[in-house]
Amino acid sequence: MMKKEKKWSWLSKKKDNRNNRKISRVDTIVGSSAELNGNIFLKDKGIIRIDGHLHGDISGADSIIIGKSGVIEGDIIAGTILVGGKVTGNISASQNLEMFSSARVKGDIKCSQLLIEEGAVFEGNCQRTNSEVTSTDTTE
């Protein structure tokens, strides 16, 4: 019997090169033992992974990955945001926002595309943003 591979198993701490191919280029890593106070702005875009605790906002990244042990208390702005940990604050993703089964999000979200796995907890408001979609409704 073949073992079924989990779709998002790279969020866990296990080292498995097959699963890490999707995120082979992480520019900045905040480890699980780190606790940061203050805002993070990535000047040169890139990808950041948070496995530790951040008290502050984070922006300027192409992609932000919040691992299962990651905790962010602040607002997040990026192109793609993958949440496996806990976020208390507003999230704005110009492209994709994905919340995995281990995710706990308390705050409002704005995104173009949203995926919430079964088991994830989301408490807040959600707004879909897409500049290419225009309303044809003329009623007020």
Q: What is the residue-wise DSSP string for the chain?
A: -PPPPPTTGGGSS---HHHHGGG----EEE-TT-EEES-EE-TT--EEEE-SEEES-EEEEEEEEE-TT-EEES-EEEEEEEESSEEES-EEEEEEEEE-TT-EEES-EEEEEEEE-TT-EEES-EEE--TT--------
Domain count, the chain: 1
Residue 8 lies in a domain: no
Residue 7 lies in a domain: no
| Minimum mean pLDDT range among 89-93, 111-115, 131-135 | 131-135
Give the model confidence (pLDDT) of 34-67 as tens digits: 999 999 999 888 899 999 999 999 999 999 999 9
Residue 74 lies in a domain: yes
What is the domain range of residue 73?
Answer: 24-117
Residue 72 lies in a domain: yes
Residue 139 lies in a domain: no
Q: Are residues 88 and 70 in contact, defined by beta-carbon separation less than 8 angstroms?
A: no
pTM score of the predicted model: 0.77
Residue 18 lies in a domain: no
